[in-house]
Structure 1
Amino acid sequence: MKTLLRQLVGASLLATLAFTASAAETMNEPAPDFTLKSNQGENLRLEDYRGQVVMLNFWASWCGPCRQEMPVMDDIHEQYKDLGFTVLAVNVDENTAEADRFLSAVPVDFPILYDNESRVSELYGVDAMPSTVMIDRDGTARFLHRGYKPGYEEDYVKQVRQLIRE
């Protein structure tokens, strides 16, 4: 009986977490500034993107949903980049070679930043992979997404359009 109860509680908890992970949270706080080395070899600073809408995505090469989401983000970047939008994808792998190996198979047009000591992901309180923060032109974090499932890109596009229009 105890085992059945544990299984039911566990299943309920997982269902709650899955539901929570799928909903975007509305935020309204300054996005913490940071500087990280990019896959192009240069240091990039978030503050330098002020005036643009930024999709800040935290990902890892070992994360299945992250791998699934990467081409989707590249499509969104391609569609809206000329309107003052960019994606900054922060990789949290300890070994950057793992991220580079994945990116050689799934190339993207937006900057990849390396946070191999997880300082920036800690600064943003990242607790799920992937995690995506939508930042407006004024540098305010407006939306937070935890996790990824096919279909989430519809919310991404709605939010990007909203922030571009503001």
Structure 2
Amino acid sequence: MKTIIATLALACSTLALSAADGAKVGQPLPKLAQLLPGATIPNTSGKVVLVDFWASWCGPCKASFPALNRLQAKYSAKGLVIIGVGVDDDAAKYKEFSSKMGAKFSIAHDSAHKVADFFSPPSMPSSYIADRKGVIRYVHTGYRGEKTEAEYTTEIEALLAEGH
């Protein structure tokens, strides 16, 4: 009997963990405009979408913004939409960081953590790349300079080539 109870307890805790693990490859992107009321979210229908979570206190986030700007410049006309989601609680820190970094892509402040709760990013930054059908195809945790930018480029180019 103790074995059965222990097995059931383990199964329940495993289910709880898997439900809280966040967005995964193969899942659909949520409707970001619904989770971020008042934010200006670009139309993502039929687009390859990169959602990047960042925070003002995150060093690697600072390093990732120039790469995201380059990707935006290179691929936006081909169907890429980048949305940077700032998770700072403090609106002033969010505004200061986003202004200083000069994002050339769309950014939104997730002060209520509705988007972050859905995705449950394991670290800052974390990025999710979805195909033109709105399905998450790639997940990146952290930012490792040129290595990560090269991975983004390969994945974005492959997804942009699909469905034409």
TM-score interval for Structure 1 and Structure 2 normalised by the shorter chain: 0.7 to 0.9
Secondary structure of the residue that 1:157 maps to in structure 2?
helix
Higher CA-based Rg? 2
Matched residues in 2 for 1:156 and 1:28: separation? 17
Residues 44-66 of structure 1, C-alpha deviation per residue, up to 9 Å, x if partnerless? 457x3111111100000100001
- Residue 152, structure 1, aligned to residue 144, structure 2: no
Unaligned 5+ runs, structure 1? 1-25
**Which residue number in structure 2 is paired with residue 139 of structure 1?**
134
Structure 2 length as normaliser, TM-score? 0.78
Q: Check whether the contact 2:41–2:106 (CA below 8 A) recurs between aligned residues.
A: no
> 1:162 Cα deviation (Å)?
0.5
Could you list the per-position Cα deviations for residues 60-100 of structure 1 after superposition, in whole angstroms to 9, with x for gaps in the alignment?
A: 01000011101110111101010011110000001122122
Instruction: Find 1:51's aligned residue among 46, 55, 59.
Output: 46
* C-alpha distance in 1 between matches for 2:54 and 2:97: 12
Contact kept? 1:32, 1:124, Cα under 8 Å: no
Residue deviations 1:6-60 (CA, integer Å, cap 9, x gap): xxxxxxxxxxxxxxxxxxxx811211222225xxxx53457x3111111100000
Contact kept, 8 Å, 1:33 with 1:45, in 2: the verdict is no
**Offset, 1:103:** 2.4
Counterpart of 1:154, as a letter, is: A
Q: Tell me by how many angstroms 1:126 deviates.
A: 1.3
* Whole-Å separation in 2 of the counterparts to 1:116 and 1:142: 26
Aligned residue number for residue 91 of structure 1 = 86
Which structure is higher in strand share? 1
Segments ≥4 residues shifted beyond 6 Å? none
Identity rate of aligned residues, in percent? 31
Secondary structure class of the residue paired with 1:127: coil
Is 1:73 matched with 2:68?
yes
| Structure 2 unmatched runs, 5+ | 1-23
Query: Once superposed, what is the RMSD of the aligned Cα atoms?
Result: 1.6
Tell me the TM-score normalized by structure 1: 0.77
Question: Partner of 1:32 in structure 2?
Answer: 30
Contact 1:61 1:98 in 2 (8 A): yes
Moved more, 87-96 or 98-107: 98-107
